[in-house]
Amino acid sequence: MSANLLPLLWEATLQTLYMVAASTILGTAVGLPLGVFLATSQRGELLSAPWLNKVLGLLVNATRSVPFIILVVAIIPLTRAIVGTSIGTNAAIVPLTLAAIPFIARLVENAIREVDAGLIEAARAMGATPLQIIRKVLIREARPGIALGLTLAVVSLIGYSAMVGAVGGEGLGDLGIRYGYQRFMPEVMAAVVVILIVLVQLVQSVGEWIAARFDKRAPRNRGR
Amino acid sequence: MTGNTIAGAAISFSGVGKAFDGPGGARVSALQDVTLVIEPGAICGIIGRSGAGKSTLLRMVNGLERPTSGTVAVAGLDVGRAQGAELRAIRREVGMIFQHFNLLSSRTVAGNIALPLEIAGTPPDQVRARVADLIARVGLDGLAGRYPAELSGGQKQRVGIARALATQPRVLLSDEATSALDPETTQTVLRLLADINRDLGLTILLITHEMAVLRDIASHMAVIEGGRIVESGPIYDIFTRPTHPTTRSFLGGVTGLTLPGFIAGRLLDHRPEGPSEEVVRVTFAGNHATDPMLSKLAVERGIASNILAGAIEEVGPHPFGNLLISVDAARGPEARAYLEQHGLLTEVLGYVR
């Protein structure tokens, strides 16, 4: 590999990190509250709103069933309206975020539903408001699960971010396609794959470490 | 029912019913016409089998369940109709402990005890002082920084108790709080509850399926069966004069009242022809509990008795004894009359040849 490709690889890596970080942050900002709401709004639950729960659930499922590459193309008008262009890293963040929101919401919902119902009852018995229960009990107790869920989401977003390369986004995927595939430079393709593998490994390890830090349930001691 | 509440009562249920829609649209009745008054400072135990409705009844006191008829009041406040902030204010007056403790795994001992105070909006410096007091109160010194997973069952329940006391409630609800603990730990937790009742004048309402728990700490008890209270009153009265079969069967487990198998198998309902023995349960209560009545029976009336089973123990501050004896059936009535005359309670269980 010639030395002038290294800056290219470095730049593409930074672009990928930027896209993934931005869409994770934005996706979590919407997906976390959405997931909490989905987990607490069925009939008889804390924020009981069965109809809204159903509608949002359908919306989440609908978004999740659209293949990502189609989502990217389908929302080009929206992307233009928000970013002003449909090409480049900033434009790629829009579909990435839109894909991240329902994914993160479902992962958060699952993590919250894992929390022992007895804790909700105890908090209600203390006179806690629904919001206090969500903040001080549900989200806090679900932190290990949420951390693992976000790890999964980031790993998926790394993969998706490579896909937006194919439609004018930048980053590692774009580099791999343009140099590795179209210019027949297998060494670039190999470098891109190695960097992606390293990134995913890093994210997974960090995510698991954070989840373990949050998890105070002794693994040998979960009698019930 | 009117919305009247009994003045001065810590907790009162009047004509309380709870029905819900069961499978297939049928109305299922969990509680029917429950009327029960619990005085301030009492330790009242509700005993019943699984599904009898005791848990539903308990959870009405802090509004986790609402009655479909009748009134539930805590310190004169109507819990069943309270909503929003009013209900949350009542809940701060009512602490609750649970069979499975329900502690946050992600918070330390101190953090768990602080939770109700944080919820109530207590300033952090006051929270710290109060938590330190409570940790000492329940005997968890040195464990403030531990997580629940690092504690034993008894320690977890102590955290639960400290947490329930944090907002200085007037009433403590105990939902099978010792059912997940071993007998020894159960004793220490019950002793802690009794101490708290005495020191803080806290009214305690507990549900259990173990008569021994009531015997050890309750001042009053109620027996619930099929959603109805079938018997209630001061614990001593019920232990000495149980009237309902359910009460008797619960009592059998704690008062040494079980007949030895070789006799139980031969027991007849009616006195047979020819010589036979009458099997009698004798209950010693109060001052007579320690009198040597069977010796006196033999000396003064010449009636010999055979002891089949028995136990003497304490219910609250009172000694209380139960004996199963057999006497010659021909002289049974005379023996019972003599014992009754001297303040003992007797009951014929049957006859053996």
Domain annotation covers residue A192: yes
Domain annotation covers residue A220: no
B201-B206-B212-B215 Cα dihedral, nearest 10 degrees: 40
The domain that holds A157 is classified in CATH as: 1.10.3720.10
For A39-64, the pLDDT digits (tens) are 999 988 899 999 999 999 999 999 99
For A70-108, the pLDDT digits (tens) are 999 899 999 999 998 888 899 999 999 999 999 999 999
Domain annotation covers residue A224: no
Determine contact, residues A96/A160, Cβ cutoff 8 Å. yes
CB atoms B98 and A217 under 8 Å: no
Give the structural domain span for A173: 5-215
Question: Based on the structure, what is the number of domains in chain A?
Answer: 1
Please give the Cα distance from A34 to A40 (Å, whole number).
10
Instruction: Please name the residue ranges forming H helices in A130-214.
Output: 130-132, 139-141, 143-164, 172-175, 186-214
Instruction: Please name the residue ranges forming H helices in chain B.
Output: 54-60, 84-92, 109-120, 124-137, 153-165, 183-200, 211-217, 235-240, 245-252, 261-264, 293-301, 332-341
C-alpha distances in Å from residue A160, one per residue of A23, A165, B61? 11, 9, 53
CB atoms B96 and A119 under 8 Å: no
What chain B holds in terms of domains, given with CATH numbers, is: 11-242 (3.40.50.300), 261-352 (3.30.70.260)
Predicted ipTM?
Answer: 0.85
- Given a cut of 50, whether residue A222 has pLDDT beyond it is no
CB atoms A217 and B105 under 8 Å: yes
Q: CA of A142: which chain B residue's CA is closest?
A: B106
CA distance A213 to chain B (A): 10
- Given a cut of 80, whether residue B308 has pLDDT beyond it is yes
Determine contact, residues B156/A118, Cβ cutoff 8 Å. no
Nearest to B119 among A127, A140, A218 (CB): A127
Following DSSP, what letter does each residue of A151-173 receive, concatenated?
HHHHHHHHHHHHHHGGGT--SHH
Count how many Cα atoms sit within 13 Å of the Cα of residue A41 in the half-sphere of its side chain: 17
Determine contact, residues B293/B339, Cβ cutoff 8 Å. yes
Highest mean pLDDT among B13-17, B254-258, B330-334: B13-17
In sequence order, which residues have a C-beta less than 8 Å from that of residue A132 and are 6 or more positions away?
Answer: A123, B119
Domain annotation covers residue A195: yes
Tell me the pTM: 0.84
Percent of chain A topping pLDDT 70: 95
CA distance B262 to chain A (A): 41
Tell me if chain A has a CB within 8 Å of the CB of B6: no
For A135-170, the pLDDT digits (tens) are 999 999 999 999 999 999 999 999 999 888 767 778
What pLDDT, on a 0 to 100 scale, did the predictor assign at position B7?
57
Domain annotation covers residue A62: yes
What pLDDT, on a 0 to 100 scale, did the predictor assign at position B255?
64
